[in-house]
Chains A and B, each alone.
Chain A
């Protein structure tokens, strides 16, 4: 059934674009140059492979690099994180003291298998390591007081932290079910603007962009932090 549907929909699109019977489709906005293709989009078949291997809109007029660097960049990230009600802490070299202070009240926490174990040296509660073959069930995750992870990239301008499913960031479920997320951001992983952040990511990894704790404005547009995701987000900015 669906094979027929596929063929029919593709045939409808061709007809809609005026390709059938040799008709050539010309974009209704001929002024629009298509980035990376060097011209207006014409819909003759076969053009797409070269069209989307090119870098996007390299010659488009928007910024591809930000202007903040060094301490100013870190300060910008902190400002934006705080604006979205995340708690921000700073650590030099060893974050273990800060981490143990933040999670000290929980009897058990979960960490991804690649997290530097020395980071939890100061914590006396139970540490569950989520690893292939020993993945925690949803109920087990629900019983953890917090999750501690690293991060892949942080985008300062928008106050966004990206997790990419790496061994340090863990499976998506572990940063979702526990109510408290402690996330370490290395200063080397901070970029200024969104395009710089996207360029550092692998599309094939499961990606989660986090900008502050979960929130809703669905009731009279009054913002409430903490709905279904972790209600507390602690970010530790780690120098070096």
Chain B
């Protein structure tokens, strides 16, 4: 059962762990940013079409499994287990991955992760005739979060996105708007224009999706077959075995994970699963929640280095970048259980109207509205406004494959935002509430206060109240207060009882 908006006990902040950096920050408050996107009719049409299509596909494949709720319970329990034992699982993963010939790097924040990756690329990718180095990339939220491509570019390294949608976004010098279908804000005509403009070898193209996909295949094929270094994210890291996994559709992931000599993976520390066998749950939860398929076309697992098969120089960057800060928030930490399926975006009435760009972060939609402020702290620029980007309808909680109670965390973070960012208002409000609490906490005081009602009724002339002074004015700016009654409930009750006694006495 979903209980929405239940107030929580205040968080005990454990120290002040450093917040994350990079593309997880809303520059201005959400209402201002979203305003501009709301007026873009094309965007709203594209996103409305996309979210409703994926939503119904998901519902259909989820309904095929009569044990779906048990799978969600197992997914939630497993991720809670990971978070509660994170140091042990990380150590176990590190040992297994290293034993299999992989090399682990730890990065406290985005800058550190970017520097590690750039150095690895410089060590392993040749300088081409252009004077620059090249890497191929498979879609990864973590590398978007840390702004890796931009960092590499400044270091003389061109990073080629190979996922079709990411390619559209990259060639269009644009930002992703959805974590699963990042170019969902573009229609086929726009994509055709971008390809004709930015792919020198594309030739004349129609706007048929098959033709456009074929153009991308030709454009990237040579890169896949010749590039020495690839960069990936990971959907799962298995603590028990040191195995990494990437879930994808197009085969660009397999290309990146298989053909280059060097593979550099960037993964958040929260992505672990304890056992290989846990995949029996997550490989059911993720594809059905994400693309609405029974299974996505391709999933790859690799454990360090395999002789003669795939990259022989295998690295993993384990990224904190605010995750420990989120973990320290005992009411928010389950946001780290997220497996990036994007189901919450597709059901969100706010996301459906504003699109992903309005959230200013790599992580849009309901999960982004909690994850971004948890990673950075609500004090960071506009991130304190993100938890308000919700009607608290609870649809996100219902579809979440690992049962993250997003509405509850949204309410919790609104509280954090008020505490951190709106102290003048809160002190005035606090004073009013403290007074109310004193008065209402005692029946006699309440009764005494209510004696003033007949007077107040007279003062206001029995009319409704349209405007109050002070902070109460914010309440009445969009609401009216009904006319005050002549008598309080207590007075009416006392009179009623007196009448009853009279009647009984007469019997």
Measured CB to CB, the residues of A under 8 A from B are 1-2, 5-6, 8-10, 12-18, 25, 27-29, 32-35, 37, 41-43, 45-49, 51-53, 55-57, 60-64, 80, 84, 132, 135, 138-139, 142, 155, 157-160, 165, 171-173, 176-177, 194-195, 197-199, 201, 203-222, 224, 226-230
User: Is B380 part of the contact surface with A, judged by Cβ < 8 Å?
Assistant: no
CB–CB A220/B90 < 8 A: no
Q: Which residues of B contact A80 (CB under 8 A)?
A: 294
B196 shortest CB reach to chain A, Å = 14
CB–CB B297/A210 < 8 A: yes
Q: What is the CA–CA distance of A42 and B86 in the complex, to the nearest angstrom? A: 11
User: Is B209 part of the contact surface with A, judged by Cβ < 8 Å?
Assistant: yes
Q: What is the CA–CA distance of A226 and B73 in the complex, to the nearest angstrom? A: 35
A117 shortest CB reach to chain B, Å = 21
CB–CB A51/B81 < 8 A: yes
**Cβ-defined partner of A56 (8 Å) among B250, B275, B334:** B275
Dominant SS among interface residues on chain B: helix
Q: Which residues of A contact B238 (CB under 8 A)?
A: 203
Given contacts A218-B164, A228-B217, 6 further A-B contacts (CB under 8 A): A12-B320, A173-B310, A211-B296, A218-B181, A220-B50, A221-B54
CB–CB A18/B283 < 8 A: no
Chain B 181-222 residues near chain A, CB threshold 8 A: 181-184, 187-188, 191, 209-210, 212-213, 216-217, 220-221
Q: Which residues of B contact A198 (CB under 8 A)?
A: 276-277, 279-280, 283
What 8 A-B pairs are tightest by C-beta distance, nearest first?
A229-B251, A41-B84, A61-B70, A48-B88, A228-B251, A16-B328, A195-B280, A12-B324
CB–CB A41/B81 < 8 A: yes
From known contacts A47-B88, A229-B251, infer whether A204 and B108 are also in contact, taking CB-CB under 8 Å.
no
Q: What is the CA–CA distance of A135 and B310 in the complex, to the nearest angstrom? A: 12
CB–CB A16/B325 < 8 A: yes
Count of interface residues, chain B, beta-carbon cutoff 8 Å = 111
From known contacts A9-B324, A18-B14, A207-B300, infer whether A199 and B277 are also in contact, taking CB-CB under 8 Å.
yes
Q: What is the CA–CA distance of A214 and B252 in the complex, to the nearest angstrom? A: 9
User: Is B293 part of the contact surface with A, judged by Cβ < 8 Å?
Assistant: yes
B318-339 Cβ-contact flags toward A at 8 Å (1 or 0): 1010001101101101100000
CB–CB B334/A165 < 8 A: no
**Cβ-defined partner of B191 (8 Å) among A34, A138, A155, A219:** A219
CB–CB A33/B249 < 8 A: no
Between-chain CB contacts (< 8 Å), 26 pairs: A2-B116, A5-B105, A12-B17, A13-B269, A15-B15, A16-B333, A28-B333, A47-B85, A48-B239, A49-B92, A57-B278, A60-B73, A80-B294, A138-B259, A158-B295, A171-B308, A199-B277, A204-B241, A209-B299, A211-B295, A216-B250, A226-B217, A227-B217, A227-B251, A228-B250, A228-B251
CB–CB A220/B209 < 8 A: yes
CB–CB A41/B213 < 8 A: no
Q: What is the CA–CA distance of A221 and B47 in the complex, to the nearest angstrom? A: 11
CB–CB B85/A43 < 8 A: yes
Dominant SS among interface residues on chain A: loop
Q: What is the CA–CA distance of A164 and B215 in the complex, to the nearest angstrom? A: 31
Measured CB to CB, the residues of B under 8 A from A are 14-15, 17-18, 46, 49-50, 53-54, 67, 70-71, 73-74, 76-78, 80-81, 84-92, 100, 105-108, 112, 116, 162-165, 168, 181-184, 187-188, 191, 209-210, 212-213, 216-217, 220-221, 224-226, 238-241, 243, 249-252, 254-255, 257-259, 269, 274-281, 283-284, 287, 291, 293-303, 306-310, 318, 320, 324-325, 327-328, 330-331, 333-334
CB–CB A176/B251 < 8 A: yes
CB–CB B191/A14 < 8 A: no
**Cβ-defined partner of A139 (8 Å) among B182, B225, B276:** B225
Query: Which single residue of chain B is at the shortest CB-CB distance from A52?
Result: B274
Q: Which residues of A contact B259 (CB under 8 A)?
A: 138, 173, 176-177
Q: What is the CA–CA distance of A41 and B80 in the complex, to the nearest angstrom? A: 8
Among A165, A208, A224, A226, residue most surrounded by chain B Cβ atoms (within 10 Å): A224
Among A135, A204, A213, residue most surrounded by chain B Cβ atoms (within 10 Å): A204
CB–CB A48/B92 < 8 A: yes
CB–CB B210/A206 < 8 A: no
Q: Which residues of A contact B239 (CB under 8 A)?
A: 48, 52
Q: Which residues of A contact B77 (CB under 8 A)?
A: 32-35, 57, 60
Q: Which residues of B contact A46 (CB under 8 A)?
A: 88
Q: Which residues of B contact A47 (CB under 8 A)?
A: 85, 88
Q: What is the CA–CA distance of A165 and B258 in the complex, to the nearest angstrom? A: 12
Q: Which residues of A contact B302 (CB under 8 A)?
A: 206-207
A44 shortest CB reach to chain B, Å = 9
B287 shortest CB reach to chain A, Å = 8
From known contacts A62-B67, A221-B53, infer whether A48 and B85 are also in contact, taking CB-CB under 8 Å.
yes
Q: What is the CA–CA distance of A64 and B71 in the complex, to the nearest angstrom? A: 11
CB–CB B276/A203 < 8 A: yes
**Cβ-defined partner of B334 (8 Å) among A1, A28, A142, A213:** A28
